[in-house]
Amino acid sequence: MTMTAPGSIQADSSGGLPTHPGPVPPCPARGLVCRNCGATFGLIAEHACAECFGPLEVDYDYDLLKAVTREQIEAGPQNIWRYVALLPVGQDPADRVSLDPGLTPLVRADRLAEELGITGGLWVKDDSANPTHSFKDRVVSLAATAAKRLGYRKIAAASTGNLANSVAAHAARVGIPSFVFIPSDLEPGKVVQSAVYGQTLVAVDGSYDDVNRLTSELAETDEFEDTAFVNQNVRPYYAEGSKTMGYEIAEQLGWRIPAQVVIPMASGSLLTKVDKAFRELTAAGIVEATEWTIFGAQSAGCDPIATAFEQGWDVVRPVKPSGIAKSLNIGNPADGPYALDAIRRTGGSVGRVGDDEIVQGIRDLARTTGVFAETAGGVTVAVLRQLVADGRLDPAKETVVLNTGEGLKTLDPLEPVVGPTHRVEPSLRSVRAAGLIG
């Protein structure tokens, strides 16, 4: 394994409280394994297999995972690092480069359940409560911590918005340079939140897939040799951050895996890692063995995984994305085949919804739960409605839907359809004329 280079990324711990007072647990990661051919590697800074170019994933020592207990996790900090005994990096708190996201609310959604006819119980996992208001803080904390460990000095990303916000904020927190590349047509809320941290922000006149191709080329240049692209060269570590969403759901349900989960998909990584988290908790004996079903959600403007699911394909054909759910607009999803596998293996399905349904989904969730989701959350709620309506999701079983981002970041599609219900002069007469009092 590459060791930390002198002068590489250091967390500024001044002013921070000690986050993990207990002894440092052993790192449970054995190395990286190719998901395609099974070749194994050390904990290196690569995301593609040297043998077959397949994607690499962190591989664990299941004996170490089996030693992890609920009590040990519960005694940890109130953030993702309580699961560090199940993660590949960050065992020593001093090594972490993190905004300490996680333990976001699991909100009981009884009113939405009633409206949709769900009787088995409905919950919203609300990741808008993370420090930069999306689930991406989980993956960036893992990626930035791995970057430090592997000796990188800068972090970077190609992003559909939320990743940009989180990478720039993490870099600002520890005082390292970051380089974030976004499609130039992102929502103003996401552009401002990426720019405010005072880091390098490059708007690219192209789609996310164009941006991703550009950063792959940049990663090969001398200037970016010391830069970790969080979702490219350290992607195996980045991806593990998404597992914490699955761990939290189980812990917040009282160490139980829910029967059904509905998950929005961009690259498909989050979905595969929630499934991995459930498998690990089961294998480690932390939860009782049970069956679960995973459903994927996409927008009609970017539905390559939905199409592959319907057609029975194992591979995903790239599309040119459009539509308002920009955080999900990845036309060539890297984890598409693995997401399809998790969905099919658990007996799930994929729904797709158009822009009007997405806006309705945002409004339905807000109106019935008080949670204001970004467009990706609108996709998930609208897909939930669709899955119940056509009988693919069992309304008698406990269901969790993921809200992965904050509504204030994507106000644009809401502005034309919601606003003040009345407009009055500052007088009782005017309020009376408006019909609010008799």
Ligand X SMILES: *Cc1c(COP(=O)(O)O)cnc(C)c1O
Q: Which residues bind Zn ion (CB under 5 A)?
A: 34, 36-37, 39, 49, 51-52, 54
Sole window of 9-17, 116-124, 201-209, 268-276 interacting with ligand X (rule: CB under 6 A): 268-276
User: Closest CB to ligand X among 284 and 305?
Assistant: 305
Residues in contact with ligand X, counted by CB under 6 A, come to a total of 16
Query: Smallest Cα–Cα separation from 180: which of 149, 222, 144, 145?
Result: 144
- CA-CA distance, 237 to 46, in Å (whole number)? 10
Query: Smallest Cα–Cα separation from 212: which of 334, 105, 388?
Result: 334
CB within 8 A of 12, min separation 6: which ones? 173, 174, 175
Residue 308 as a binder of ligand X (CB under 6 A): the answer is: no
Q: Which of 86, 261, 266, 393 lies at the binding interface for ligand X (CB under 6 A)?
A: 266
Residue 93 as a binder of ligand X (CB under 6 A): the answer is: no
Residue 270 as a binder of ligand X (CB under 6 A): the answer is: yes
Q: Which of 404, 407, 413, 414 lies at the binding interface for ligand X (CB under 6 A)?
A: 404
DSSP-based three-state secondary structure for 252: helix
DSSP-based three-state secondary structure for 68: coil
Question: Under a CB-based contact definition with an 8 Å cutoff, are residues 272 and 235 in contact?
Answer: no
CB within 8 A of 412, min separation 6: which ones? 187, 188, 189, 324
Residue 376 as a binder of ligand X (CB under 6 A): the answer is: yes
| Closest CB 385 distance from ligand X, rounded Å | 18
| Closest CB 408 distance from ligand X, rounded Å | 13
Residue 194 as a binder of ligand X (CB under 6 A): the answer is: no
| Closest CB 32 distance from Zn ion, rounded Å | 10
- From the list Zn ion, ligand X, none, partner contacted by residue 34 (C-beta under 5 to 8 A by kind): Zn ion
Q: Which of 136, 190, 243, 385 lies at the binding interface for ligand X (CB under 6 A)?
A: 136
- From the list Zn ion, ligand X, none, partner contacted by residue 404 (C-beta under 5 to 8 A by kind): ligand X
Residue 327 as a binder of ligand X (CB under 6 A): the answer is: yes
Residue 88 as a binder of ligand X (CB under 6 A): the answer is: no
Site string for ligand X, 10-49 (x = CB under 6 A): ----------------------------------------
Query: Smallest Cα–Cα separation from 44: which of 234, 205, 187, 200?
Result: 234
User: Closest CB to ligand X among 230 and 270?
Assistant: 270
CB within 8 A of 11, min separation 6: which ones? 94, 95, 96, 97, 98, 148, 173, 174
Question: Under a CB-based contact definition with an 8 Å cutoff, are residues 58 and 337 in contact?
Answer: no
- From the list Zn ion, ligand X, none, partner contacted by residue 212 (C-beta under 5 to 8 A by kind): none
Q: Residue 57 CB: number of other CB atoms within 10 A?
A: 20
- CA-CA distance, 87 to 26, in Å (whole number)? 10
Residue 267 as a binder of ligand X (CB under 6 A): the answer is: yes
- From the list Zn ion, ligand X, none, partner contacted by residue 266 (C-beta under 5 to 8 A by kind): ligand X
- From the list Zn ion, ligand X, none, partner contacted by residue 36 (C-beta under 5 to 8 A by kind): Zn ion
- The CA distances from residue 300 to 269, 307, 410, in Å, are 19, 10, 18
**Residue that is written with structure tokens 């056509």 in the block:** 390
| Closest CB 165 distance from ligand X, rounded Å | 9
- The CA distances from residue 343 to 155, 265, 294, 333, in Å, are 32, 12, 5, 15
Contacting residues toward ligand X, per CB under 6 A: 134, 136, 162, 264-270, 327-328, 374, 376, 404-405
